[in-house]
Amino acid sequence: MADAPPVVEVRGLTTTFGKGQAAFSVHENLDLTVRRGEILSLVGGSGTGKTVLLRHLLGLTVPTRGSVTVLGRPATQLGGEGASARVGMLFQQGALFSAFSVLDNIAFALRELGTLPEGVITDAALVKLRMVGLQAEHATRMPADLSGGMVKRVALARALIMDPPLLLLDEPTAGLDPSSSDEFCTLLRELHAALGLTVIMVTHDLDTLYALSTRVAVLAERRVLVSGTPQEVAAFEHPFIEHFFLGERGRRAMAQPGAASPKEA
Ligand SMILES: Nc1ncnc2c1ncn2[C@@H]1O[C@H](COP(=O)(O)OP(=O)(O)OP(=O)(O)O)[C@@H](O)[C@H]1O
């Protein structure tokens, strides 16, 4: 994977919000490279700029200094029609359109193109519905009638409708019970392998981190403090890392039989 081409290249990224006395920097000279096929987990304390970094990758936040390149182009040029064909995003709560059926949620970006016949759009959405482990009978349901696990699956199908090579996940298992969370991790792992995806996810959940990550990057002190396998990162001396990986919760997750070593993931 070290030889795989870079999908994301962040160089010298500085993100400053506010003006004058109130100005503060979330990132300062942050560097990060993510290569094809990686599943990178971004971890860090509250307010360290994980979500802002995802927004940079989506081209929604503009760097104050430095550059964010996604699939060879500045992320800020991702906008418009091609965006969801390049980067898929799974938002934390699923963020489905409540007035749209499951199928219409999944088909949204394809329909927005305005170039495809309805039959093609429906077929493509049904393929994605099955890909995430749902059945055709779920297509007409409304988001309010879905379980938390089903909402995540529909949101994932929607993120993948345009077959983007890069998938961003914001807390993919937040709010799920342990067994739904395990099932969703299994699905993500299968789709990552089957579709050859590159995945970047923000997670606070150590079980999810160990189940999926090929690499972990820790955001602290306004930059990527350390990145490596979960085991390498856990060995780095820093108060956040000790709290996150070596607290009681961390030891429990690390001891789980399903805790993938990065080479197996
Ligand atoms: N548009 C904005 N304008 C001003 N400040 C912002 C803006 N977006 C984010 N921030 C600030 O930037 C900092 C980083 O926010 P961010 O949401 O990226 O943190 P995070 O690492 O995702 O935290 P958490 O784990 O709590 O979700 C916070 O202090 C936040 O208030």
Whether residue 49 has its Cβ less than 6 Å from ligand 1: yes
244 shares a domain with 194: yes
**Confidence tier at 91 by pLDDT (50, 70, 90):** confident
β-partners of residue 44 are 219
* pTM, full prediction: 0.89
pLDDT in tens, 171-217: 999 999 999 999 999 999 999 999 999 999 999 999 999 999 999 99
Domain-embedded: residue 129:
yes
Strand, helix or coil for residue 105: helix
Q: What mean pLDDT is predicted for residues 8-13?
A: 98
Please check the confidence at residue 254 and state whether its pLDDT lies above 90: no
Domain-embedded: residue 206:
yes
How many domains, in total, are found in the chain?
Answer: 2
Domain-embedded: residue 261:
no
ipTM of the complex: 0.97
pLDDT value at residue 85:
80
pLDDT value at residue 261:
44
Q: How far is the CA of 262 from the centre of ligand 1 (A)?
A: 29
Domain-embedded: residue 155:
yes
Domain containing 158 equals 97-163
209 shares a domain with 189: yes
Taking CB atoms within 8 Å and a gap of at least 24, the contacts of 222-227 are 222/25, 222/26, 222/27, 222/28, 222/29, 222/30, 222/48, 222/49, 223/27, 223/28, 223/29, 223/30, 223/31, 224/30, 224/31, 224/32, 227/32, 227/40
Domain-embedded: residue 193:
yes
**What is the C-alpha R_g of the chain?**
19
Strand, helix or coil for residue 247: coil
110 shares a domain with 147: yes
Q: How far is the CA of 104 from the centre of ligand 1 (A)?
A: 31
Whether residue 122 has its Cβ less than 6 Å from ligand 1: no
Domain boundary among the residues 117, 146, 163 is at 163
Please check the confidence at residue 245 and state whether its pLDDT lies above 50: yes
pLDDT value at residue 200:
97
Domain-embedded: residue 262:
no
